[in-house]
Amino acid sequence: MATSTHDAYLTNRILSADGVELVRILYGAALGSVESARRHLAAREIAPRSNSISKAVEILAELNRSLDHARAPELSLRLAELYDYAQRRLLEANFEQSDEPLAEVQKLLATLADAWRQINVSPAASQAEPGGRHGAAGSEGWTRPAAELAPASHGWSF
């Protein structure tokens, strides 16, 4: 029951979120997946560790796809490079069964998530259509439409 209540809450949160909030949700989910992978690694739970790493890699891929290279080419390029680097480190951690790359990615994601938490969106921007893409600071929506990121459409459970 608690899981279905949580899933319903999260789905509602995603569907009603503006672009900035969607990015924050994705960073939180990616961080949670990396933390989970570290716990599973320590417990020598191979399949759950691999699943957590795969989930984090998929979330980073979604963040990468949502970058707006036209609006903010330099920032988008840097974020794309960071996402690619983080994905490679996650795969390395899984292959080598090593905590060090996981810890590095966790720190990187925490830094990025903290930066997104500090972004203030004006009330007018919060009421704007949540479409658009991310990669540029401002009041516009920065991510894909919320309906495209609903957990049911990707099989994610945050």
Low-confidence stretches of the chain (pLDDT beneath 70): 1-2, 10, 121-158
Give the bridge partners for 134, in sequence order: 67
Q: CB atoms < 10 A from the CB of 96, how many?
A: 10
SS3 assignment for the chain: CHHHHHHHHHHHHHHHCCHHHHHHHHHHHHHHHHHHHHHHHHCCCHHHHHHHHHHHHHHHHHHHHCECCCCCHHHHHHHHHHHHHHHHHHHHHHHHCCHHHHHHHHHHHHHHHHHHHCCCCCHHHHHCCCCCEECCCCCCCECCCHHHHCHHHHCCCC
CATH topology of domain 22-117: Four Helix Bundle (Hemerythrin (Met), subunit A) (1.20.120)
Question: Would you state the pLDDT for residue 133?
Answer: 61
Q: Domain boundaries in the chain?
A: 22-117
Give the tokens for residue 131.
């479409």
Q: What is the predicted pLDDT for the residue at 123?
A: 54
**CB distance 156 to 45 below 8 Å:** no
- Cα distances (Å, whole numbers) of residue 23 to 2, 15, 48: 25, 13, 25
Predicted confidence at residue 119, as pLDDT, reads 87
pLDDT digits (tens, 9 = 90+) for 115-135: 999 988 655 544 443 444 666
Cβ atoms of 75 and 56 within 8 Å: the answer is: no
Note the pLDDT tens digit of each residue in 89-117. Answer: 999 999 999 999 999 999 999 999 999 99
- Give the span between the Cα atoms of 127 and 118, in whole angstroms: 19
